[in-house]
Structure 1
């Protein structure tokens, strides 16, 4: 029991950092969902045009993305808070934590990788390339996904380690 408590406490910082990252990320989506346009051009010219035109599809997309990001923050908190272990089965927390970490890291890393291939001249961009959106993804959004994913992986690791210690103590 003491090992379990120590493992959970040592990973709690990561869970809170992961949740903060997710909730801050969600705030940008909700801001854009309310019609804000500041920094939207870092996502892409088309997003700005759709928001300015009042296209319902873009509003659905940014609100949906915002709620998914909030869910990611809730998963991080569930991994480090007692209510998470009471409310969700172990397998669900493991799947959400590790699956979320893998998806976030792979998504962000793939974007960065492709964009670096463009910067290196290996891939040729279209002539009408939206460079503001390109650099927004390369330097802001894609790295944020990677950082969020790494934090989620650290959180999931501490949850897994604490759970393993708990199982070992109950067996032994």
Structure 2
């Protein structure tokens, strides 16, 4: 185990927790849970009807992605280029996906974007204020952890 520095570990721990929330809901819905499912939007719920089990591997992937950065950092970034690049790619995707969908969802809700055929208000609220901001926060905190721990990790490598 190497010294990664508390400055990098704390955000990576928080990123792991945020990712775990996302993963937990995917796993919960994958086994048939219904709490907050309306926040996904009717179209998504209908698309997965009868296929909810597909959320189980998605939840597992989210869970692994949530904790790999902290585990890799604590182990001194084995396969350094690959692991850090994969984590940075994940952070960028989370920030772009979460940020763009948060902004678009809010623009729809305030009426600046009007989708053809209307929209599912509960689903749009869920994406604008819960799921996509959670992706965004996960990505921002992950990027902060990768940035803050960069100098310490380099000197230990």
Structure 2 length-normalised TM: 0.86
Residue matched to 2:102: 112
**Correspondent of 2:69 among 54, 76, 96:** 76
Matches within 5 A, 1:44-55: 44-49=41-46, 53=49, 55=50
Whole-angstrom distance in 2 between the partners of 1:163 and 1:80: 8
Give, in angstroms, the shift of residue 8 of structure 1.
2.2
Greater shift, 16-25 or 116-125, is seen at 116-125
Give, in angstroms, the shift of residue 136 of structure 1.
0.5
Matched, 1:28 2:28: no
Matches within 5 A, 1:55-134: 55-56=50-51, 58-60=52-54, 62-82=55-75, 85=77, 88-134=78-124
Give, in angstroms, the shift of residue 117 of structure 1.
2.8
Q: Secondary structure at the match of 2:150?
A: helix
Any unmatched runs of 5+ in structure 2?
A: none
Residue matched to 1:19: 16
Give, in angstroms, the shift of residue 92 of structure 1.
1.4
Residue matched to 2:143: 153
Larger helix percent: 1
Higher-Rg member (1/2): 1
Q: How many residues align?
A: 156
Give, in angstroms, the shift of residue 116 of structure 1.
2.9
CA deviation string 1:98-120 (max 9, x = no partner): 11111100001110222233234
Any unmatched runs of 5+ in structure 1?
A: 168-172
